[in-house]
Amino acid sequence: MEEPQITEELIAAHGLKPDEYAEILRLLNREPTFTELGIFSAMWNEHCSYKSSKKWLRTLPTEGPQVICGPGENAGIVDIGDGQAVVFKMESHNHPSYIEPYQGAATGVGGILRDVFTMGARPIAAMNSLSFGETSHPKTRQLVNGVVEGIGGYGNCFGVPTVGGEVRFHPAYNGNCLVNAFAAGLINTDSIFYCAASGVGMPVVYLGAKTGRDGVGGATMASAEFDDTIEEKRPTVQVGDPFTEKRLMEATLELMASGAVISIQDMGAAGLTCSAVEMGDKGHLGIRLDLENVPQRETHMTAYEMMLSESQERMLMVLKPEKEAEARAIFDKWDLDFAIVGETIAEDRFLIMHNGDCKADLPLSKLSSSAPEYDRPWVETPAAAPLADVPAIDAIEGLRALIGSPNYGAKQWVYEQYDTQVMADTIRTPGLGAGVVRVHGTDKAVAFTSDVTPRYVKANPFEGGKQAVAEAYRNLTAVGAKPLATTDNLNFGNPEKPEIMGQFVGAIKGIGAAVAALDMPIVSGNVSLYNETDGKGILPTPTIGAVGLLASQDDLIAGVAQDGQIALLVGDTAGHLGQSALLAEMFGREDGDAPHVDLDVERRNGDFIRANAALIGACTDLGDGGLALAAFEMAEAGNVGVTLDADDTPTLFGEDQARYLLACNFDQAEALIAAAGQAGVPVTTVGKFGGDAIRYGASEAPLAQLRDTYRGAFAAAIA
């Protein structure tokens, strides 16, 4: 088949800028073929090359004694002792989910699961962080329904428990929702698989599902802004098959155990191209592919289509040749394709043959190492204007404004559509705070959380970045887990705008400062830029996924507040109302500065909670909605009333950081106050759990009535 001529329009349609194309000409000393142009566009787009973000990502702390593998592989790995480790990563699937919510979200889950089991880990937990437009926007309801069903449809069938996540609504996401999927797996430290190929003349094997035309050009799409031609982009969204993925995982893990695997890489964005280049580049080898041997779902597929297809549930592996029969038998057992499609070669070439014709012949190492890198101009986000006056409110009315909103109402409508217990190791299910999963067959457990407060990041990217990490730290601490490490999923607008780039730079600096101070290095991550529609950017949303370890399940804080228990507040309250949930939900205001995070205090207070876990009946961290929302959520979970002495708005609804609310018996409270005195941690008695009403100062309402509001708000808004 004749390939099209390379024209300026064709180059632009591949998302390559004129100077980038000039660099291609310089590298090749000739005009690229159509297939080669496609390969460059796949490797050099923002999604695969991180060309706008690399410079800043390098500044993030990524090391520590607990880190086995930091960023650069399919996922990060942290040590949990006894020869075991947790493999995890978070990744966005924003653009596909906006175009086709069910499949976009489903394949987002599929992609992140593949990243985890490609390294040899069995996935043990999933989470997701979702941001949608306002509930009154005509697309929101369809997006929420589709995305949630897609996540459930994929994860439930695959068989991984979804143990946590977050859902938010804000007009800034009206034209560009965010779907960030997290997965974690368990691995033995002596059987980790990396993607670097080794050995010349080793067979390159294609595993899994067949290749179709779905997703051709997907990574390029994910690197462009949306406009009103969006509906035309539907064919670039892939279709997921969780049943095949489940089999692919089982077969891959069996294959790894058989000793047949030299290196392995999943086919994600830009499928065959990215996976082959990664394996060759990391192993300092070339790769030859014979495309006629690629298992194909459709007829007459061209080299261009095969190299750019994003068909799901596929892997590429470099095989020990003597193990071929054994490896093939494993894939036959699971009824999956197994085909030798090429080999490793000594020269630095990426050689693509199709029925004897050479379709591409490129210097392999240049495809990633020569990818463009930009130092984009950026401007510091100006300091937020001071907070205007906040009118006096009735405390319970303020609470109602929060719990009656889908942002802070209970999320059971969402998480009851996810299998939260498959594998029978979930010991803390979603609803409030971090999810916890036992390490199968041991006394250890691992906790997971996902956090960010985009309003804060917009007002003050540096403090907002810090706060996202600090909140993750608190959520892990509140269940008794020691925070270990972090994955970041950085969702921003168009980086070619200096003010957006300024948000990005500020947030990275904040995240870097916080992960350093709290000793939870970044081990993996993903950047999603160009989240804009018709020139309007999303709220800057650097989602933080974090993992913590419970050395023993006895350390777990999982109780609920009980009648007669004392409410203790850990940490200082100054009453910071800027950018608070109360302002947003009650007054539709987003003004003032974000709360500032004192990282030393965070660490001190977190250490105090973990050291005294045995004295704590129930624990939650304070975030959005401050003391008022935390006390209500704790009371609601324990099905008991609560009385707080305070009735002033700043004390009840301020969002000062580094705080926790505890429920404990009198004796435990005395012991905690004594321990706090010694540790220099401020702990104050703020009220008492009991009865069947929520009372804040002189204002009160029956728990049952508020619970109906809280439990019904989400469904009322979107169902």
Query: Does position 553 bind another protein by CB under 8 A?
Result: yes
Least distance from another protein to the Cβ atom of residue 148, Å: 9
Query: Does position 152 bind another protein by CB under 8 A?
Result: yes
Say which amino acid occupies 357. D
The binder of another protein chosen from 427, 505, 646, 672 (CB under 8 A): 427
Closer to another protein at the Cβ: 419 or 463?
Answer: 419
Residues 516-545, one symbol each (x = binds another protein by CB under 8 A, - = not), give ------------------------------
Closer to another protein at the Cβ: 1 or 424?
Answer: 424
Answer for the pair 676, 608: CB distance below 8 angstroms, yes or no: yes
Least distance from another protein to the Cβ atom of residue 664, Å: 21
Closer to another protein at the Cβ: 417 or 684?
Answer: 417
Let me know if 440 is a catalytic residue: no
Query: Does position 188 bind another protein by CB under 8 A?
Result: no
Helices (H) and strands (E) in the chain, counts: 25, 28
Least distance from another protein to the Cβ atom of residue 257, Å: 16
Answer for the pair 446, 549: CB distance below 8 angstroms, yes or no: yes
Least distance from another protein to the Cβ atom of residue 243, Å: 3
Least distance from another protein to the Cβ atom of residue 144, Å: 12
Closer to another protein at the Cβ: 58 or 333?
Answer: 333
β-pair partners for 447: 436, 548
Query: Does position 254 bind another protein by CB under 8 A?
Result: no
DSSP3 helix / strand / coil % (the chain, rounded to 5): 40, 25, 35
Distance in angstroms (rounded) separating the CA atoms of residues 329 and 373 = 44
Q: In degrees, to the nearest 5, what angle opens at C-alpha 597 toward C-alphas 592 and 599?
A: 170
Query: Does position 562 bind another protein by CB under 8 A?
Result: no
Distance in angstroms (rounded) separating the CA atoms of residues 181 and 476 = 18
Q: Of the residues 47, 95, 354, 576, which is catalytic?
A: 47
**The pair of three-digit structure tokens given for residue 452, joined into one six-digit string:** 């960010």
Q: Is 227 exposed, middle or buried (0-12, 13-18, 19+ CB in 10 A)?
A: exposed
Least distance from another protein to the Cβ atom of residue 45, Å: 32
Burial pattern 168-185, b for ≥16 Cβ within 10 A else e, equals bbbebbbbbbbbbbbbbb
Distance in angstroms (rounded) separating the CA atoms of residues 174 and 542 = 18
CB-based contacts of 614, cutoff 8 Å, min separation 6: none
Q: Is 137 exposed, middle or buried (0-12, 13-18, 19+ CB in 10 A)?
A: middle
Query: Does position 479 bind another protein by CB under 8 A?
Result: no
The binder of another protein chosen from 250, 394, 572, 593 (CB under 8 A): 250
The binder of another protein chosen from 243, 375, 614, 648 (CB under 8 A): 243
Closer to another protein at the Cβ: 34 or 413?
Answer: 413
Least distance from another protein to the Cβ atom of residue 159, Å: 3
Q: Which stretch binds another protein (CB under 8 A): 210-218, 237-245, 378-386, 643-651?
A: 237-245
* Nearest one of 230, 131, 217 to 173, comparing CA atoms: 131
3-class SS letters over 353-414: EECCEEEEEECHHHHHHCCCCCCCCCCCCCCCCCCCCCCCCCHHHHHHHHHCCCCCCCCHHH
Query: Does position 102 bind another protein by CB under 8 A?
Result: no
Closer to another protein at the Cβ: 124 or 452?
Answer: 124
Least distance from another protein to the Cβ atom of residue 667, Å: 25
Query: Does position 154 bind another protein by CB under 8 A?
Result: no
The binder of another protein chosen from 384, 387, 423, 551 (CB under 8 A): 423
Give the relative orientation of helices 242-257 and 140-158 as an angle to the nearest 10 degrees. 40
Binding-site size, another protein (CB under 8 A): 32
Least distance from another protein to the Cβ atom of residue 425, Å: 8
Let me know if 47 is a catalytic residue: yes
**The pair of three-digit structure tokens given for residue 421, joined into one six-digit string:** 């217990």
Q: CA of 29: how far to CAs of 19, 32, 44, 45, 363, in Å? A: 15, 9, 18, 21, 12
Least distance from another protein to the Cβ atom of residue 717, Å: 16
Q: Which stretch binds another protein (CB under 8 A): 111-119, 276-284, 410-418, 665-673?
A: 410-418
Q: Which stretch binds another protein (CB under 8 A): 215-223, 421-429, 576-584, 597-605?
A: 421-429
Query: Does position 246 bind another protein by CB under 8 A?
Result: yes
CA 687 to chain centre: 36
Burial pattern 207-221, b for ≥16 Cβ within 10 A else e, equals bbbbbbbbbbbbbbb
Closer to another protein at the Cβ: 241 or 281?
Answer: 241
Closer to another protein at the Cβ: 334 or 696?
Answer: 334
Closer to another protein at the Cβ: 248 or 599?
Answer: 248
Distance in angstroms (rounded) separating the CA atoms of residues 277 and 196 = 10
Q: CA of 426: how far to CAs of 8, 419, 481, 554, in Å? A: 55, 10, 15, 15
Q: Is 87 helix (H, G, I), strand (E, B) or coil?
A: strand
The binder of another protein chosen from 50, 226, 334, 660 (CB under 8 A): 334
Closer to another protein at the Cβ: 179 or 291?
Answer: 179
Closer to another protein at the Cβ: 152 or 537?
Answer: 152
Query: Does position 435 bind another protein by CB under 8 A?
Result: no
3-class SS letters over 110-178: HHHHHHHHCCCCEEEEEEEEEEECCCCCCCHHHHHHHHHHHHHHHHHHHCCCEEEEEEEECHHHCCCCE
Query: Does position 442 bind another protein by CB under 8 A?
Result: no
Query: Does position 324 bind another protein by CB under 8 A?
Result: no
**The pair of three-digit structure tokens given for residue 683, joined into one six-digit string:** 């702990």
Query: Does position 74 bind another protein by CB under 8 A?
Result: no
The binder of another protein chosen from 133, 242, 537, 595 (CB under 8 A): 242
β-pair partners for 549: 446, 482
Answer for the pair 646, 636: CB distance below 8 angstroms, yes or no: no
The binder of another protein chosen from 6, 10, 57, 159 (CB under 8 A): 159
The binder of another protein chosen from 3, 84, 135, 149 (CB under 8 A): 149
Give the relative orientation of helices 101-117 and 140-158 as an angle to the nearest 10 degrees. 30
User: What is 208-261 written as a DSSP string?
Assistant: ESPB-STTTTHHHHTTS-B-TTGGGGGGGS----HHHHHHHHHHHHHHHHTT-E
Query: Does position 412 bind another protein by CB under 8 A?
Result: yes
Closer to another protein at the Cβ: 136 or 412?
Answer: 412
Query: Does position 220 bind another protein by CB under 8 A?
Result: no
Q: Which stretch binds another protein (CB under 8 A): 172-180, 245-253, 349-357, 536-544?
A: 245-253
Q: Of the residues 93, 95, 354, 576, which is catalytic?
A: 93
Query: Does position 156 bind another protein by CB under 8 A?
Result: yes
Query: Does position 417 bind another protein by CB under 8 A?
Result: yes
Answer for the pair 177, 95: CB distance below 8 angstroms, yes or no: no
Answer for the pair 454, 131: CB distance below 8 angstroms, yes or no: yes
Closer to another protein at the Cβ: 164 or 203?
Answer: 164
Distance in angstroms (rounded) separating the CA atoms of residues 523 and 65 = 12
Q: Which stretch binds another protein (CB under 8 A): 30-38, 151-159, 656-664, 686-694?
A: 151-159
Least distance from another protein to the Cβ atom of residue 270, Å: 26
* Nearest one of 480, 683, 674 to 568, comparing CA atoms: 683
Query: Does position 554 bind another protein by CB under 8 A?
Result: no
- Tokens 């099209």 belong to residue: 4
The binder of another protein chosen from 35, 312, 420, 494 (CB under 8 A): 420
Distance in angstroms (rounded) separating the CA atoms of residues 705 and 698 = 18
Query: Does position 241 bind another protein by CB under 8 A?
Result: yes
Catalytic (active-site) positions: 47, 93
- The contact set with another protein (CB under 8 A) reads 149, 152-153, 156-159, 241-244, 246-247, 250, 333-335, 412, 415-424, 427, 429, 438, 553
